[in-house]
Amino acid sequence: MPPAPQTSTRLDAAHRIGREIAAVHAGDVDKNARFPRESIAALRDEKLLSALVPVELGGMGMGMMELSTICTALGQYCSATAMVFAMHQIQVACLVRHALSSSDLRAYLQSVASEQRLIASVTSEVGVGGDTRSSICAIEQTQDRFVLAKDATTISYGEHAQDLLVTCRRHPAAASGDQVMVLLKQGDFQLERTSSWDTLGMRGTCSPGFKLTSSGHVSQIVPGDYGAMSSQTMVPFSHVLWASLWLGIAIDAVARTGSFVRAQARAKPGVVPPAALRLAEVSNMLQVLRISTHDVADECERLMSSSEGNEAMLAIGFSLKMNNVKIYASEQTVAIIQAALQICGIVGYKNDTKYSLGRHLRDAFSASLMVSNDRIYAKNASMLLVHKDP
């Protein structure tokens, strides 16, 4: 089935923003570890921050597949722009899929569309050892108001977002895994920076630690429990959209390598440059990464469209698959860029040529660390003790 005309228009817009804005500032964003404000502003202008918001609430009503292709497009020009965009969409997805029963949260999603508000995620916490499925902080409720304080190890673009979506325990006596999500709007919270963000890559995501203090109305607590939201939405959207943008980084690396090899070939027509064989290998790796990412995005979109599908997303088999796509994409992206660098050689290693791959590689190294692959492997190891069908 060919994509709807609208779909290609949106994808075209993402490529235009990537080419004309994100790519122009990507070097400076990386060098100065600064927020990619120009490209996020351009995405706002195209109303892409409300891509997932249902049409009746003023958004685009986009599905996972199309959003995946947009993340891949942005990843080809500026990894930080693509990651900020993806992380925001993951937050919107949680609200769109779990909060529509609340009239206040529906109204909030309308404001995401009309005001193009940017939402940051506060799932990390000092003391939980990187496990987003357990919290120390808890909602403290008095009548219809609550207060919430959280010591977050990292909040990506925390100083640039209007609003925050925070995980915490349901009440002060709740078990560590009995979590809810809470929306904090500008004015509800204060952030006190507790660490720096001078990193190897993904520098423009601006993700230092913060101490969060906040208060709000109980209607800002997303109905239901975070455990189900995590399995049905947070994890699938995170892993698929991250994989999609990492794929974008790999695509640009292979594109640069291709133009390097073609330049060699043009210099000596009639002789296939030895590097062309390596390029053929990298092209093969890229194709498998692309297929793997698309396949899972497509499956997620189908499952999300029915109640049986949403039920199936709570099963261990689905979690295994979602974890595997993240592990594979994170490792394969680095492998592809490294192979591309081997082909381009010194001109790829240099930071100031049209074949430079340093930023690609540094950004891609974050992939196996943002939710550590070792932690994910350990979860899969545990699930495989009871899961039977390979």
Q: Which of 144, 308, 352, 389 binds other proteins (CB under 8 A)?
A: 389
Each residue 151-190 as x (binds other proteins by CB under 8 A) or -, in order, gives -------------------x---xxxxx------------
Shortest Å, Cβ 65 to other proteins: 25
Beta bridge partners of 140: 147
Q: Nearest Cα to 54, choosing from 93, 20, 86? A: 93
Answer for the pair 105, 219: CB distance below 8 angstroms, yes or no.
Answer: yes
Task: Kindly state the helix (H) or strand (E) to which residue 284 belongs, with its residue range.
Answer: helix 275-304
Q: Nearest Cα to 241, choosing from 91, 125, 118? A: 91
Q: Which of 231, 238, 332, 356 binds other proteins (CB under 8 A)?
A: 231
Task: Give the C-alpha separation, 185 to 387, whole Å.
Answer: 41
Each residue 103-142 as x (binds other proteins by CB under 8 A) or -, in order, gives ------------------------------xx--------
Task: Give the C-alpha separation, 144 to 107, whole Å.
Answer: 19
Task: Give the C-alpha separation, 134 to 127, whole Å.
Answer: 10
Strands (DSSP E) found in 139-232: 140-142, 145-152, 163-169, 179-184, 189-193, 210-217
Q: Which residues have a Cβ under 8 Å from the Cβ of 100 and sit 6 or more positions away?
A: 54, 106, 109
- Between the two ends of the chain, the Cα-to-Cα distance in Å is 31
Shortest Å, Cβ 390 to other proteins: 10
Question: Is residue 20 close enough to count as binding other proteins by CB under 8 A?
Answer: no
Q: Which of 100, 126, 347, 383 binds other proteins (CB under 8 A)?
A: 383
Question: Is residue 308 close enough to count as binding other proteins by CB under 8 A?
Answer: no
Of residues 113 and 229, the one with the C-beta less far from other proteins: 229
Q: Nearest Cα to 59, choosing from 8, 13, 109, 4? A: 109
Question: Is residue 39 close enough to count as binding other proteins by CB under 8 A?
Answer: no
Please list every residue from 313 through 332 that binds other proteins, using CB under 8 A. 314-317
Shortest Å, Cβ 125 to other proteins: 15
Of residues 178 and 298, the one with the C-beta less far from other proteins: 178
Question: Is residue 228 close enough to count as binding other proteins by CB under 8 A?
Answer: yes
Question: Is residue 225 close enough to count as binding other proteins by CB under 8 A?
Answer: yes
Dihedral, CA of residue 148, residue 154, residue 159 and residue 162, to nearest 10: -50
Of residues 202 and 322, the one with the C-beta less far from other proteins: 322
Question: Is residue 385 close enough to count as binding other proteins by CB under 8 A?
Answer: yes
Interacting residues with other proteins (CB under 8 A): 133-134, 170, 174-178, 225, 227-228, 231, 311, 314-317, 379, 382-383, 385-389
